[in-house]
Amino acid sequence: MDRQQTIIRSATCAGVGLHSGERVRLTLHPAKAGDGVRFVRSDVTDRDPVIPAHALNVSTTQLGTNLTNRAGVTVATVEHFLAACAGMGIDNITAELEGPEAPIMDGSAAPFVELIAEAGLEAQDTPRRKLRVLKPVEVRDGDKFARLSPAAGFSMRVAIDFASQAIGRQTLSFDMQPGAFGRDIAFARTFGFAQDVEKLRSLGLARGGSLDNAIVVDGDTILNPGGLQVEDEFVRHKVLDVIGDLYLAGAPIEGAYEGEQPGHALNNRLLRALFSDETAFSWSTGAASS
C-alpha cells in the first residue's frame, strides 16, 4: 500500500522573507492523516490562523504564490516549501509561521528538504490519495501555456525563454522518482533581474532579496560571485516552482505536465481549470498505478 506520510518530530528554521524583508521563524510539526499541508500563523490571535495549502486558497501570484483563508489571514511565497513537501513525499504537515511570509533561505528548496529530513519521515496507516488526470486540460496566455495530460506517475517538461544571453532558451524534462527532486531540482535558486529591483522595492516587494538568496541577472551578466551551480539552474528552478504550485492540488498528481514559460498565475489557472471540469480528474487511493 502506498501510505500517507508525515514527519516524526518538530523542526525549526529561520530566515528573512524575500518580499517583506522581515525575520521569520518556521517550525514544522507532524500532522494527522488526512490533514494535508497547512500553514498556521502563530502571530495571528484575533482570527482563524490556519491556512490550508490548496489551489482555491491562492489569492495573488505576483512574484510568488500567496494564500489567504476565509478569515482573510495570508501567507506569502509558499512555493519552495511546498515543492520540498512534494519532493519528500510529505502528505500531512503543519507549518507554523511567526510572520506573513515563508523564509526565502538561500532561494531554493534545499533548506526545506534538509529540515524535513531532520524531522524524519513517518508512514501513516492510511492510503495515500492521488489526483489522477483523465483528459488534457490546458490554459494559455499568449505564447505561454501550461497543460496537464493523462500519464502514469508524474512527469514534467518545462521550457523558459529570456532575452538575456545569461539565460536564453532552456528546456528540462523531469520525472518525479524517489530521490530525484533532492538530487536534481531542490538546489536550484530563484532568480531576478537587476533592472527590476528598485521598482519592486518601491512596490514593497523584494525587500529581503540579495545575492545570498537569488541569482541576479544584469543584462547578459550574472552578478553572483559564485555564478551558477549548474548551467541550466534557471529552468531547474522553474521546474521547482511548478512542483510547488501543483502540490496545491491537495495531493500528488498522476499525470504529465508541460509548460512553455509558465509562471505562478498560469499554474494556478491550470489547477482551477482542472477542478472546474469534474470529467477531467478522479481521486484514487492505495497502490500506485503502473
Residues designated catalytic: 264
Report d(CA 185, CA 18) in Å as an integer: 20
β 129-133/253-260 pair status = parallel
Report d(CA 82, CA 61) in Å as an integer: 15
For 44, what's the count of Cα atoms within 13 Å in the CB-facing half-sphere? 19
**Residue 41 and residue 100 in contact, taking contact as beta carbons nearer than 8 Å:** yes
- Assigned C-alpha cell, 190: 530563484
Sorted by sequence, the CB contacts under 8 Å of residue 142 that are 6+ apart come out as none
Sorted by sequence, the CB contacts under 8 Å of residue 148 that are 6+ apart come out as 133, 136, 137, 138, 253, 255, 256, 257, 270, 274
